[in-house]
Structure 1
Amino acid sequence: EVKQLEEKSPRLKLVYLPPYSPELNLIERVWKYFKKQVLYNKYYKTVCEFRKAAIDFFSKIDQHAYALKSLLGGGFENICT
């Protein structure tokens, strides 16, 4: 059905992505940034301390808006031609 719809519409173009492409999956970029901010070179004595750090990160994610915007903005230049 999708291919038929594509054939009928001049505005649609299917772009086939590789089966595994984490660089194109935006949430992978968020997780990488999260790990860098919350996990790298940090020691949490208990799971509760780690949980609190993770919750704090996501509850204050707007403080990371500039860094996340730059991470999530690029990388699709060669895909959408």
Structure 2
Amino acid sequence: MLIPSNAQSTIQLFQQIEAHHSTAACIHIICDNTPYYRSQLISDHLNDSKIKRIFLPPYASNLNLIERYWKFFKKKIL
């Protein structure tokens, strides 16, 4: 699976997800507040898509799984 690093690769990832779940009526994707998730390019692409973005609130580290991983990692390594 593609790891997005900008708007273009995010669109490619969304296309792959939509193709893989072609029978779904609606696809919800939870996004952090990275600027490319909110870019006009992605918004324009998703106008005719089954994908709906759900944004995490700012500074919601308890909802962001990578933050839990970093906490565990720091505790075990440090």
TM-score, normalised to structure 1's length? 0.35
TM-score, normalised to structure 2's length? 0.36
Q: Rg bigger for which structure?
A: 1
